[in-house]
Amino acid sequence: MPPLVSVIITTYNQAAYIGAAIQSALDQDYDNTEVIVIDDGSTDETAERIKAFGRDVVCVRQGNRGVAASRNAGIDKARGNLFAFLDGDDLWEPGKLSAQVMAAEAQPQSGLIVCDGVQFDDTGILQASIMAPVMRARLVVAESVTAWCYREFVQQNLVATCSQALTRREVIDEVGVSDLGVSDASDWDLYLRIAARYEVTFLRQSLMQWRYVKESVSGSNVLRMMRWWPNAIAVLRKQLREGPEMFRAEVLATLRERIVSGGDAVYQYGRETDKVWARRCLLRAIREMPQSVRLWSLLVALHLPRRCAARGDWRRGEE
């Protein structure tokens, strides 16, 4: 028998999209699957849309605890040897699971199988490829790439959305489930823990569709980055403590770069949208890097009149 794939779909107030997401999982040309839907306390018609699928899906409803807790609940319920994650507003192409299972069987040393996809909204395709550029360049001459890539995962999350990913039960048993303490960056934290111990396989094939919804739980791209920033810092701090010792210097350098570059983005957001929130974020960053002249300058400039901030040269360079 081919391995059982547990499809774990997480959703919160996605009544408009959850039906299509579930159907895309049921329409896979790989037959040995179970579909588990975790409804994270939805208050709209999401529960009714899930019920319409009857026995084709296993539905677990819980109080609102966040996406990381939802994925963990799905893993706890799963019976399969392989886990494939799907956000409740994304879509899979019919051959997604069969391609990933084939790759998992061909590369038994791989702890994570990642496919390419597109990003879209109601107007059409926004990005023709969501594969990280560093991996896309390697896939130009190959259908798939399997490699040790912890260093690359430290520099950036190579997986745009969990809907691209498939992993093995024994991998989760070894590295642990999603860390609820890092909230919006819990997927990156999980991939880092996997990449520290296993090779990762990337597929050139475009096998899923990542929906962009400005009003979603994550919000617009700008708000998503704002929320992700402090959690990303926490993830890198965690890797300094627990990650491979040979990469500690690179993790520290990336941490410092993330703190400062995030401060620039927070400053811009504060000038244009929410100065109080930006001040809190900058103070948090300064606690992380009190020696950064750049961060202190951003905090001061946030409270200057716009014309004074625009005249100054406080944003040039970094110590």
Look at residue 316 and tell me if it is in a domain: no
Pairing of strands 33-40, 124-127: unpaired
Q: Give the 3-state secondary structure of residue 119.
A: strand
Same domain? 296 vs 227: yes
What local confidence, expressed as pLDDT, does residue 174 receive?
98
**Residue 192: what pLDDT?**
98
CATH code for the domain of 60: 3.90.550.10
Establish if 216 belongs to a structural domain.
Answer: no
* pLDDT of 124 above 50: yes
310 — pLDDT class (breaks 50, 70, 90): low
Q: What is the mean pLDDT of residues 189-203?
A: 98
Nearest to 147 by CA among 91, 67, 207, 202: 202
Q: What is the pLDDT at residue 317? A: 45
Beta strands per DSSP E along 212-269 = none
pLDDT at 319: 42
Pairing of strands 124-127, 82-87: unpaired
Whether 202 and 264 share a structural domain:
no
Co-location of 175 and 57 in the same domain: yes
Give CA torsion, residues 194, 195, 201, 204, to 10 deg: 110
pTM over 0.95: no
Residue 240 belongs to some domain of the structure: yes
Interval 8-42: pLDDT, tens: 999 999 999 999 999 999 999 999 999 999 999 99
Indicate whether 223 pLDDT > 70: no
Instruction: Return d(Cα 17, Cα 205) in angstroms, integer.
Output: 24
Answer with the one of 157, 187, 211 that is the final residue of a domain: 211
Residues 204 and 225 in one domain: no
- CB 41, CB 110: distance < 8 Å: no
Helix or strand holding residue 37 (H, E): strand 33-40
pLDDT at position 87: 98
Whether residue 197 sits in one domain with residue 70: yes
**Residue of 87, 109, 220, 228 whose CA lies nearest to 164:** 87
Q: Is residue 319 part of a domain?
A: no
How far is residue 11's CA from residue 36's CA, in Å, rounded to a whole number?
A: 11
Which residues constitute the domain of residue 252? 221-311
pLDDT of residue 218: 45
143 inside domain: yes
**232 and 165 within one domain:** no
* HSE of 103, CA atoms in CB hemisphere, 13 A: 27
The reply to whether 192 and 239 lie within a common domain is no
**Helix pair angle (221-242, 248-272), 10° resolution:** 160
CB 159 within 8 A of CB 130: no
Average pLDDT over residues 37-54: 97
Q: Is residue 233, in this structure, part of any structural domain at all? A: yes
- Do 258 and 140 have their domain in common? no
Average pLDDT over residues 187-205: 98
Average pLDDT, the chain: 92
Measured distance CA(148)–CA(135) in Å, rounded: 12
Instruction: Please tell me whether residues 199 and 304 are part of one structural domain.
Output: no
pLDDT per position as a tens digit, 252-295: 999 999 888 888 888 988 888 889 988 988 898 898 889 889 99
What domain count does the chain have? 2
Say if residue 200 is in the same domain as residue 232: no
Q: Choose one of 211, 244, 264: the last residue of a domain.
A: 211
Give the amino acid at 167. Answer: T
Statement to judge: residues 248 and 141 lie in one domain: no
Q: Is 226 left (phi over 0), alpha (psi -120 to 50) or beta?
A: alpha
